[in-house]
Amino acid sequence: MGLRHRAVQQPEIALAQRIIEKYHLSPCIDILEVARIFAEVEVVNIPFDVDGMSINLKTHGKKPKILINSSRSWKRRRFTVAHEIGHVVIPWHMGSFFDSDVENQADNEPDPYIDMEHEADRFASELLMPSDWVAAIIKNKDNMEELVNIIFNEADVSAQAATIKAINELPSGFMCAEIGHNDLVVWAGRSTGTLANAPVRGSQLNRQRLSQFVAEQWEFELSGRAYLWLKVTNTADSRVEDDGVSWREVLDLILVDLRIDTPDEIKTIKQQINGVFSYANSNCKRSGQYNVESLMASALQRFFSVDYLKGFQNHEKFMLFLRKRVADQMSKFKGD
């Protein structure tokens, strides 16, 4: 399996890698032993809802101290210890931190504290599951259930931590979701460069919709959690008969059927449709595999990933429209 091109590394990840190299660490690491290199460590009963604490960070004359809540599961404690080491060693993390789950906190506005929590999470993930180590597993594994299970067992981390690390290291074209009761999405993500949007947290999984652009899927349980992994298709059938009808005419017929008839409504939905297609076209060009089949696949991924065009995507002439739109785009490209 090919590996994705990695962007410039974030400093907290580079810092974790330097520690791995300096102390010759590899999974499964003795995280408490590593923590004691940098701080005093105690596993204690903390009588309120935090996973751990780090205090006296960068305080003159005082050694940092890490406190871990003994009521948490072993795998969660391991990640918390690694997270607290991040607070201790990341230079701009100062003072004290009381750490709990920040995933459910709104982060649509800048919040320096939450930003530092995410930095410590990324540090912990890299320390426990080094990217080079995960990359070597990915190279030899095409089955996502096997891949995640290896990370889960050998790194001794939680199912969610193993899943997040895997999706962050995989090449483009992968999505995953943790599925709860009644097929509700608990958490979801996608690998870098994937055009299709991952299922929305809190929404009900739409398997029929996903099947429109999925080439392969894996569904399994890990540590009492249900996971769905999807590999999106890189190519799609783009064959279309030349019946003399343009994609613009097909689009107009669809809009009539959908009773979109006022000038403002028509203008808005056409702008939305053109925007989705243009995004897919631009990303397909950047992928280095720009041909009629890959553009068709990219366009399918994008159109079936947006909620505001549901009626349009479900119309019986949608695929005819898309094939004609792709054919027209490729004829222009070849003519350039």
Task: Please state, in angstroms and as integers, the Cα–Cα distance from residue 200 to each residue in 104, 173, 177, 188, 252, following that order.
Answer: 14, 17, 9, 7, 30
The number of angstroms, rounded, from the C-alpha of 80 to the middle of its chain's C-alpha atoms is 21
Q: Looking at residue 80, what is its pLDDT?
A: 95
Locate the domains of the chain by residue range: 11-128, 131-232, 247-335
Q: Looking at residue 335, what is its pLDDT?
A: 54
**What contacts 101, CB < 8 A, 6 or more positions away?**
51
Fold of 11-128: Arc Repressor Mutant, subunit A (1.10.10)
Of residues 97, 164, 88, the one with CA closest to residue 131 = 164
Q: In this model, does residue 238 exceed pLDDT 60?
A: yes
Q: Looking at residue 326, what is its pLDDT?
A: 92
pTM: 0.79
d(CA 165, CA 167): 6
Is the four-CA dihedral 195, 196, 197, 198 of positive or negative sign? Answer: negative
Pairing of strands 65-69, 214-222: unpaired
Q: In this model, does residue 242 exceed pLDDT 50?
A: yes
Q: In this model, does residue 317 exceed pLDDT 60?
A: yes
Average pLDDT, the chain: 88
Do the beta carbons of residue 320 and residue 239 sit within 8 Å?
A: no
**What contacts 142, CB < 8 A, 6 or more positions away?**
1
